[in-house]
Amino acid sequence: MSVFAVPLALIRISFVANLAYRLRFYTGVISYLIYVLVYTSIWKAVYATGAAGGPLAEFQSFEALFTYFAVGWLARSFCFNNVDRTLTELVESGHIAARVARPVSLHLQMLCEAIGEAAFRAAFFSPILLTVLVVFFGFQPPASLGCLLAFLASLVLSIVVMAELNFLVGLTAFKTQSTWGIMRAKQYLIELLSGLLIPLSYFPDVLRTIAYCTPFPVLTSIPNRLYLGLVTGAEAWASLGVSAAWAVGLFVVAIVCDRAVSKSLQVQGG
């Protein structure tokens, strides 16, 4: 019990803090609608060229392809967090000193912040987006109850992967003056290599191999393929295994980097 008392308290604080600023999430719904509209419009044109037979063959219909993107953005709306930005701001303002001085590691603080935000998003943000998407566009339900459960399980692992990636990017703020470019590069790399903008099956072979060597497919491709039932049975378990491996791997890397950076941190007096 006592082991979890501190993380639970941190998660609760993050949840409540997000609740206080919930208004800004509502314009977020519009942002996501724009994403979905723009990219599915482009894909509609692609589908119309007849690419459906080749690289898009695994999608039975345009509805299935649309569902892939809608679910992808929905999943992103749930897993997204600003841990990298928060860390940058803490370093720039110097408040990081107080954070590092706490008896809980910076890494655990940030991970709990991400989990708290995800809980908030699951409760208040994603359901609104889901409703809007279903009302305006309508998309396919999960292939089966098992697929839904596998999808949800993989999403939980995605939160951890997303949080750790953002944490590692945020740590660069300790070493550089501005992390703006790195955060932007990370965002574009994630959007491309996770399969959020383009299903990985559509990629040329070389790029697909590269994508599978990164943790990014854990964020979109794996959950979406589970949702649509494109992978089932033993393959589905293997997908979840990949997600879990990345979550654990990045968790360990983040702990190591956190120790190294926190130890070398010099705070100016004043």
Partner 1 sequence: MRTLAIYGAYFAQFLKARMAYRADFFAEVFATGLGSAASLAFVFVLFVPIDAIAGWSRDEILFVYGMSMIPYGLFATVSWNLFDFGDRFVIEGHFDRVLLRPVNSFAQVVFEAFRIQTLTESAIGVVVVATAARRLGLELGIIDLAWMGVAVLSGCAIFVAVFGTIASLSFHFEDRVGIAPPVFNLINAGRYPVDLFPKAVRFVLRWIIPFAFVAFYPSALPLHKDGLRNFCMATPLVALVFLGVLAFAWRRGVRSYQSTGS
Residues of the shown chain interacting with partner 1 in the complex, contacts defined by CB under 8 A: 21, 23-24, 26-28, 30-31, 34-35, 37-38, 41-42, 44-46, 48-49, 51, 54-55, 176-178, 180-182, 184-185, 187-189, 191-192, 197-198, 202-204, 207
Query: CB of 33: closest distance to partner 1 in angstroms?
Result: 8
Q: How many CB atoms lie within 10 A of CB 208?
A: 17
Query: CB of 39: closest distance to partner 1 in angstroms?
Result: 9
Nearer to partner 1 (CB atom), residue 143 or residue 196:
196
Longest dimension (CA), the chain: 66
Nearer to partner 1 (CB atom), residue 65 or residue 111:
65
Nearer to partner 1 (CB atom), residue 144 or residue 178:
178
Query: CB of 126: closest distance to partner 1 in angstroms?
Result: 17
Query: CB of 28: closest distance to partner 1 in angstroms?
Result: 7
Torsion sign across C-alpha atoms 38, 154, 60, 67? negative
Nearer to partner 1 (CB atom), residue 2 or residue 49:
49
Nearer to partner 1 (CB atom), residue 5 or residue 206:
206
Torsion sign across C-alpha atoms 8, 3, 80, 44? negative
Query: CB of 50: closest distance to partner 1 in angstroms?
Result: 8
